[in-house]
Structure 1
Amino acid sequence: MDGQLLDGVLLPAIYRPSWPISVNRRNAWTPQRSSRRLVATPAGVDNSLSAFPGSGLNQVIEKCHLWQIAILGALAGGIAALLLGFSPDWDLFNYHLYNPHALIQGRLTTDIAPAQIQGFLNPLFHIPFYYIFVHFGPAALVFFAGALQGLQWVLLGLLLMRILPSQQIPQWMAWTVATFGMFGPIFIYELGGTQGDTIVSALVLASLLLILPGQQDSGNHDAHARAWLAGLLGGLAVALKLTMALYVIGLFVALLVCRPFKAPLASAWRFGAACAGGFLLGGIAWFGWLWLNFHNPLFPYFNQLFESDWASTVSFRDRRFLPGNALEWMVYPLAWLLEDYKVWEFRFRDVRPLLLYPLMFLVPLLAWRKTGREAPALRMLLVFLAFSYLLWLPLFSIYRYLSVLEMLAPLALFTVIAWLGASRRTAMGGLALLIASQLMVGYKRADVIPDLNINQATALQDLPSNSMLIVSGYEPLSFAALWLSDDIPMIRIRSNFMRPDRGLLDPEIGGDRLSRLALKRISGHDGPLFLLQSPSEGAKPFLEADLRLMGLTPEAAMQCMPVFTHTRLQQQVPLELCPLNDPAPVFPGD
């Protein structure tokens, strides 16, 4: 498939010119026929591609097809991920492997919330990662994830060419700027990982690419088709990862405010309808199952609205990282730059969101008509980023959910500088700013654990078939189910949304049915009981109280055994299996 076919079939009306791009090399004052030219070239100023350094490299890039650049991006992402290594994080241990495993192996009704609140998230996105991990190993998973993340280099490059006319900068510079979008702390942390922030983001970037105005836009029929497809991709992104909703809403607002199409209301209606369709396409099966079983399609989230008696009637929002005072609400990017752990569990540093923060509000406000006349795509990009940030701030304030903004920040900074300066020197200055800001980026990655694979021997595989595994606490332990026989249930009695004492209460006075069901399942079990824990969890004061509540105590502390027989893996992932005595009959009835 060549570049033109890929453009015409998969990206209609996004990138009209064929490769190589034709260039206007005249140096006189030559306003373009289209009113959407970014800048005019004043007489005496050589703003053509030949005026930039690297013309030889530019000629090489011009000979490449789009699919070749896509393959290059995928290979670069996959190889870079392999070099960084398999770095499973809290989410992978907690639910990235467990959720698809439970769905495929039929454990949805056998277990009770071993993956805590995250165990009720849509498992569709993680199914291919689980399959690759089980059948091909962690190295294949890392390469696959890195390749998907690397493909977004193409989307970032196309977005920049959409915003800037091809006459403004050479292609080598466009692709270089796009590369900076993939070197932020979120992207580096997640490279080769199974988080959706930097993979599902591709659907958001493609949706943005479809609705940005461009020089080669055609009539209403083309605009309507683009709105339909953009909405479908956006809705699918939300179904796969609910936090992507903030970007899809930002796209919808930008579509209404910036009016990139001749029929803005009709286009917005089509975008919204297609979003609903994409959301149903990617989530109706899972959200329908949650509704039928727990009377809340987003269970247990937003339970203050659905009032399911299976969980407490609260929203279960994570409020740890919300701004703490009025000043932080106004300048939060400055606050998290000055104070570690303000918006993430890890230390990181990236000055680019702070540099972009005033621009994405002030440029559209102070130059609304000017940007609409000279740079409509830039104006729409900034409006999209501004509204998305304003949604993120009160809803989450969790930094990794800003993955799309992080990837687009270098593009937006460079484009604003190029638009304001309108010269070769300014473009080179913008590139220098990106290089300088990149040198200030600090990031963290999870520990590399190369020995974690499905072929490792564990004590879980030797448990009697009539056993039950109990988990209490907040550690991410549900991944152990991959080594557990499918007829051995895993029951969690304490988690980030459950407590065993709530199972003793009626739902009308603070109890919940899921905690009650967990206690009843344990009380009525007729076989051996085992506690799965990490050594650090064993020292927590609530563990003894939770076990005592059910009449359970470890038979002997010395009888706890390591889960993994591989010594180094057991040291990196310390898990213990402890036999428990039979529970006392102290649990409530129906």
Structure 2
Amino acid sequence: MRRLPLLLLACCLAAGLWSVLAGTDRNWDLRNYQLYVAFAWLEGRLFQDVAAAQMQAFYNPVPHLPWYGLLRGLNDYPRLFAFVGGLPAGVLAFLFLRVAHAHAAVVVPGRGVALLLAAVAGLAGLTGAAFVPAIGLSSADAAVAVPVMAAYALVLRAALRRGTIGERPSLAAMAGAGLLLGLAGGLKMTAAPFGAAIGLMILATLGLRAAAAAGLALAAGFLLTWAPHALTLWRETGNPLFPHFNHVFRSPLLPAEAIRDERFLPRSALQAVLYPFWWLRETSGLVTELRFRDWRIPLGYLAALAALPPLLAGRAGAGARAAWLLLGACALSYALWAWLFGVYRYLIVLEMLACLLPMLAAALWARGRWRPVLAVALLAAVAALATTVRPNWGHGRHGAQVISVPPLPVPPGALLLATGDEPHGYLAVFMPRDARMMNLGANFITPAETALVRRMREVLAAHQGPVWSVSLPEAAARRDATLARFGLAIAGPCETVRTSLDAHAFCPLRKFN
């Protein structure tokens, strides 16, 4: 226990230094919405603008507030900014190593062997294609995974104590786990599968009393981080998840249709069941936009299947509850993820926990012999490390600032119009405060004349100041077509402005209709 602070310090230092070495974050979501939503929330301008960051403009801003605050304070210190941005990943790594050791201590005899086994599984879990690219990333995926892993650690501790000494789980601990899961799910819906999975496994392994305490706290945590923004969306649009689930909430601004990104979902029920085995070969466009390969979850899948017969036969002994917790949390979170998202970078927690399954399966078959367990864990770790292809979400070389933006040709009182699904939202932070931004070609705007499109036309008709467009320099044809739909045309020479993140073409506009 006395060495835990040193382990935490080492994990945070390693993650911070890795973030510095990776370079400055320049990912697409940062340019599109992650900076904008925090800015818009703090400035109270989410509905002063109209879809400035496309559909993502309406996402919960709370997980991105720390990143925005860091940018305001450390923009002139990009390496320090990157180091601090990597710290949440360090905390997550620490928690996972604690979980790995807790599981290892159950399946092998001897403190030293358990530490060695945890280190092997930890090495595999902390080098995956979801976790490593998330270090220092503005997505907050690593930060949101922290309360999920902390909740799992609390439940695991209760399961182990129930199995070894028969102690009933502490209601306070279960409420704490539920609160952490609810906070994470409210911050980012992508964490919801893990909250549901761990919650169900509390019921299955620790009973109704523990599950009730966790469930009530989970609901409270979720409402704490989700409800304030959801109420704003409900008041302004009629849909607390706008623009998603509009077939349920029926905002008058959009058709009553389900708006979701289905690009990465399994294409069939069979593929949903076997999806991880598609990840054994290098792909792009399957579960991520970029090149990717990772064997951790497929190997964990096979290990889980191998673990079932001895587990059902009762060979786990006092560790049965912990074993079922691990298998159930992995299986249920995967099933919910495959149904809802299909995006690999949301699987940080599962990617880590899957690395514990080979040692569990080997231990159940080895019947107390530690060498086969260590050998299987080592082989799985080597296979995973040797085959991983990690996506780079946009880190680049450090410059003088984290984000450098020269003066923009947007005069005070102007209306700036984006015209496509390119990421321009971050520019709003660097515009005059009385300027507005609207995206006429946002990624959820259809050719139909919806109420939202009519609202955009009303904003254009009422605006008395200068109107400018912004687009990528190579997207002129799409820009002109979108402008024509709204009765607008280029009124003069365009100016290309290069920021540290991208190049943007600004053009003055005139109304011809």
Q: Same fold (TM over 0.5)?
A: yes
Kindly indicate whether the alpha-carbon contact (under 8 Å) linking 1:469 and 1:489 is maintained by their aligned counterparts in 2: yes
Partner of 1:588: none
1:562 aligned to 2:509? no
Letter in 2 for 1:552: L
Contact 1:360 1:385 in 2 (8 A): no
> Is 1:578 aligned to 2:513, yes or no?
no
Q: Is residue 488 from structure 1 mapped to residue 435 from structure 2 by the alignment?
A: yes
What is the Cα deviation at residue 102 of structure 1?
0.7
Range 329-338 or range 87-96, more displaced? 329-338
Q: Where in structure 2 are the equivalents of 1:490-509 lying within 5 Å? A: 490-499=437-446, 501-502=447-448, 505=449
Closer/same/farther in 2, CA of residues 327 and 480 from structure 1, 3 Å limit: same
Q: Matched residues in 1 for 2:400 and 2:214: separation?
A: 43
1:333 and 2:281 matched: no
Q: 1:551 aligns with which of 484, 487, 501?
A: 487
Shift of 1:497: 1.1
Determine helix, strand or coil for the equivalent of 1:256: helix
Residue in structure 1 matching 2:172, options 220, 225, 240: 225
Does the 8 A contact of 2:32 with 2:426 survive in 1? yes
Matched, 1:99 2:99: no
Residue 453 of structure 2 corresponds to which residue in structure 1?
515
| Residue of structure 2 equivalent to 1:186 | 130
Summarize the Cα distance change of 1:452–1:287 in structure 2 as closer, same or farther, 3 Å threshold. Answer: farther
CA-CA distance at 1:215 after TM superposition: 4.3
Flag the structure with larger Rg: 1
RMSD: 2.2
SS at match of 2:439: strand
TM-score (ref. length: structure 2)? 0.91
Secondary structure at the counterpart of residue 539 of structure 1: helix
Q: 1:432 to 1:319 in 2, by over 3 A?
A: same
**Does the CA-based 8 Å contact 1:153-1:179 persist in structure 2?**
no
CA contact (8 A) 2:467 2:509 kept: yes
Q: How far apart in 2 are the matches of 1:254 and 1:471?
A: 46
Q: Structure 1 vs Structure 2: percent identity of aligned residues?
A: 30
User: Which blocks of at least 5 consecutive residues in structure 2 are unaligned?
Assistant: none
Relative distance call for 1:419 and 1:164 in structure 2 (3 A) is: farther
Q: Which residue of 2 aligns with 1:355?
A: 299
User: Which residue of structure 2 lines up, in the alignment, with residue 134 of structure 1?
Assistant: 72
Tell me which amino acid in the other structure corresponds to 2:404: Q
Distance 1:428 1:365, change over 3 A: closer
C-alpha distance in structure 1 between counterparts of 2:176 and 2:166, whole Å: 16
In structure 2, what is the Cα distance between the partners aligned to 1:239 and 1:551? 40
Matches within 5 A, 1:356-505: 356-361=300-305, 363-364=307-308, 367-370=311-314, 373-376=317-320, 377-421=322-366, 422-429=368-375, 430-445=377-392, 446-451=394-399, 453=401, 456-460=404-408, 462-499=409-446, 501-502=447-448, 505=449
SS of 1:578's equivalent? strand
Give the Cα separation in 1 of the matches to 2:283 and 2:405: 39
Structure showing the higher helix proportion among its residues: 2
Q: SS state of the match for residue 253, structure 1? A: helix
Distance 1:144-1:315 versus aligned 2 partners, 3 A rule: farther
Q: Which has the higher contact order (CA 8 A, sep 6+)?
A: 2
Q: CA deviation at 1:219?
A: 7.3
- The residue type equivalent to 1:269 in the other structure is A
Unaligned runs of 5+ in 1: 1-18, 20-63, 506-510, 585-590
The normalised TM-score by structure 1 is 0.80
Output the CA distance in 2 between the equivalents of 1:76 and 1:581: 54
Deviations 1:235-283 (A, max 9, x none): 00001111111111111221222x2x3xx11111111111110011112
1:268-347 superposed matches below 5 A: 268-338=211-281, 340-341=283-284, 342-347=286-291
User: 1:472 touches 1:494 (CA, 8 Å); kept in 2?
Assistant: yes
Letter of the 2:363 counterpart: A
Are 1:238 and 2:185 matched, yes or no?
yes
Q: 1 CA distance for matches of 2:21 and 2:52?
A: 32
The structural deviation recorded for 1:372 is 5.3
Partner deviation per Cα, 1:61-115 (whole Å, 9 max, x = no partner): xxx5212211111111001110111132111111110000111122222211111
